[in-house]
Amino acid sequence: MSDKSAKSSNVVWHQTTVERTMREQLNGHKGAILWFTGLSGSGKSTLANAVEGKLHELGVRTYVLDGDNIRHGLCGDLGFSDADRVENIRRIGEVAKLFLEAGTVALTAFISPFQADRDRVRGLVPAGDFFEIYCQCDLAVCEERDVKGLYKKARSGEIPEFTGISSPYEAPEKPAVVVDTAKNTLSESVDIVLVALRKQGVISN
């Protein structure tokens, strides 16, 4: 395996002794990337954490990669320009891929506003391992929630390049799952995701 984007030509992919299928067999379930996308306030983090909680109860090995948390460390050097958003998602995609290779279900909660970036992550992994989960919620509802007060600041100009206000959000073209977080309860939303995972054979219980 080679990385055409690597700046150094003196790196060679090292094949590990323990492969993904072996890790999945030990875990008792398949690995997957659950990519929750949607506007700020659409319920991505809430739903991702609720799904993780349910999967944990079912004995599934999981880890949530949350947008705000990641920007405290791995992506702490990035801003919110289009270029920085692209790099933010690129890094997360690579990290999520590592969790997938570990046979783990990685749940990511990022606005990830650009379809091309989400498709790029999808292209990093085998077909069927990337689940684009669209947390569909009208902008007006997201603004009403505004739990972090971000929309108010964006409307007043305090936050430039804010998705949905001064920066675009490209809704998924063909998401694996659509959850209307304005109409469905949290419990109903979790069930919608779990049904999809069972249907695709990620979990069996």
To the query of whether residue 112 is one of the catalytic residues in this protein, the response is: yes
Cβ atoms of 34 and 118 within 8 Å: the answer is: no
Give the residue from 67, 49, 63 showing the smallest Cα distance to 98: 63
Residue 91: which residues within 8 A CB-CB, separation 6 or more? 70, 74, 75
- Between CA 60 and CA 153 the distance in angstroms is 39
Which H or E run contains 61?
none
Cα-flanking dihedrals φ and ψ of residue 66, to 5°?
A: -100, 140
The whole-angstrom separation of Cα 193 and Cα 62 is 14
| Coil, helix or strand at residue 48 | helix
Selecting among 40, 42, 45, 112, the annotated active-site residue is: 112
Neighbours of 143 (CB within 10 A): 18
- Catalytic residues, which ones? 112
